[in-house]
Amino acid sequence: MTQDISPEIAGSIATGLLMLQIPATLVLLSRLLRGPGRLPPLMPKTATPEQLGATSVVVPTLNEAERIGPCLEGLSRQGCEVREIVVVDSRSTDGTPDLVRAMQHRDPRFRVIEDDPLPPGWVGRPWALHWGFHASSPKSQWFLGIDADTQPRPGLVASLLDVAETQGFDLISLAPQFVLEYPGEWWLQPALLVTLIFRSQPAGADALIPERVMANGQCFLCRRRILEELDGYSSAAASFCDDVTLARNIAARGYRVGFLDGARVFGVRMYLGAVETWREWGRSLDLKDAAQPGQVWGDLWLLSCVQALPLLASIILSLLWVTARVPSVTAALGINLGLLAMRFALLLAIAPSYTGSGPWRSLAFWLSPLADLPAVIRILLSALRRPKKWRGRAYG
């Protein structure tokens, strides 16, 4: 087939790829090269006397009985820096509040409350966090939102307070260690994670502009006075990526926002298998609720050029190079092979962010670049439509 393609046509194909990919590659390199200067991963800490009662923890729940146990256990093992742990339940029907009440007998810092019915214009998760913020103690200097699927490790909250105080952060969220099990999620999940890395910067590096701030609501620490200034989560009320929306709003006000590596202080078991990962996580990864349309589509152009295309383009260009060794084909092949090498190097960098069991996990993880094209397609599909279902709720 490639023998029928003339050098002129091969050169035109390669030139078109170069025009698309060179600018995107330069953008990507400008972000990834900031990695060496980033802050190191957080390590567990012991609370200091100054941190006594400094933090109110709020956990939003809706039918989380099957996975909230490790979260409750992990929070109960935090030290005196945690004043209270408020679980905001949205009328669960699976006994989630009963589990919290049972934990309250062991640790009086726990209490469970029920939020009001969801008002118009709000998404369920930010509403529960907003409700929990207003129900938490005004004596706490810090507000910490924790998701029910997280697995906090001892020293998590003290380490957050330590880095916030020493580095001058006003808001910190953490990238977790992902707990995976099934081969499909070991294959797909890293590819979806890379779409976030390519659009922002490595965890631990400061974002240069508010529009590129990244955040993770699974572990989200903010100064209470700032949330009071913004009336809790009101500015992210309608956002399906409320963590990023709120973090960017806070950064735009001049506060220092950090997104750090928390793989050593907390884990998360998000979704079971590739299908659930595709359906549930993929619905918010476009970040359209936290960005202008131009940024969303610019990011899709970037992901298409540096993540979706390189493998397929390398195969096609290799075949063309055999019969048409023109300079543009050679250059385009070199760029795409370089992007593939960069992608596998990134796997080495994010490997500590994964743990778990399951058959063929290592093989599936190292084959995750084969999922890059589907991952980018998932971002595109998500960008084209607004979710109608989210965390057990239906939306018009």
What pLDDT was estimated at residue 2?
52
Name residue, tokens 């970037």: 302
What pLDDT was estimated at residue 362?
87
pLDDT in tens, 127-159: 999 999 999 999 999 999 999 999 999 999 999
**What count of residues does the chain have?**
396
pLDDT, averaged across the chain? 93
pLDDT in tens, 7-42: 888 888 989 999 999 999 999 999 888 877 789 999
Is the pLDDT assigned to residue 382 strictly greater than 80? yes
Where along the chain do its domains lie? 42-182+202-272
**From 132-136, 239-243, 355-359, the region with the lowest mean pLDDT:** 355-359
pLDDT in tens, 52-76: 999 999 999 999 999 999 999 999 9
What pLDDT was estimated at residue 6?
81
User: What is the token pair recorded at 308?
Assistant: 């979706």
What pLDDT was estimated at residue 263?
96
Q: Does domain 42-182+202-272 have CATH number 3.30.465.10?
A: no
Confidence of residue 395 (pLDDT cuts 50, 70, 90): confident
What pLDDT was estimated at residue 283?
82
What pLDDT was estimated at residue 92?
94
- Please state, in angstroms and rounded to a whole number, the distance separating the CA atoms of residues 354 and 91: 33
244 near 235, Cβ under 8 Å?
Answer: no
Q: How many CB atoms lie within 10 A of CB 374?
A: 16
* H, E, C per residue of the chain: CHHHCCHHHHHHHHHHHHHHHHHHHHHHHHHHCCHHHCCCCCCCCCCCHHHCCCEEEEEEECCCCCCCHHHHHHHHCCCCCEEEEEEEECCCCCCHHHHHHHHHHHCCCEEEEECCCCCCCCCHHHHHHHHHHHHCCCCCCEEEEECCCEEECCCHHHHHHHHHHHHCCCEEEEECEEEECCHHHHHHHHHHHHHHHHHCCCCCCCCCCHHHCCCCCCEEEEEHHHHHHCCCCHHHCCCCCHHHHHHHHHHHCCCCEEEEECCCCEEECCCCHHHHHHHHHHHCCCCHHHCCHHHHHHHHHHHHHHHHCHHHHHHHHHHHHHHCCCHHHHHHHHHHHHHHHHHHHHHHHHHHHEEECCCCHHHHHHCHHHHHHHHHHHHHHHHHCCCCEECCEECC
What pLDDT was estimated at residue 246?
97
What pLDDT was estimated at residue 224?
98
**From 176-190, 197-211, 227-241, 326-340, the region with the lowest mean pLDDT:** 197-211
Is the pLDDT assigned to residue 171 strictly greater than 90? yes
Q: What pTM was estimated for this model as a whole?
A: 0.93
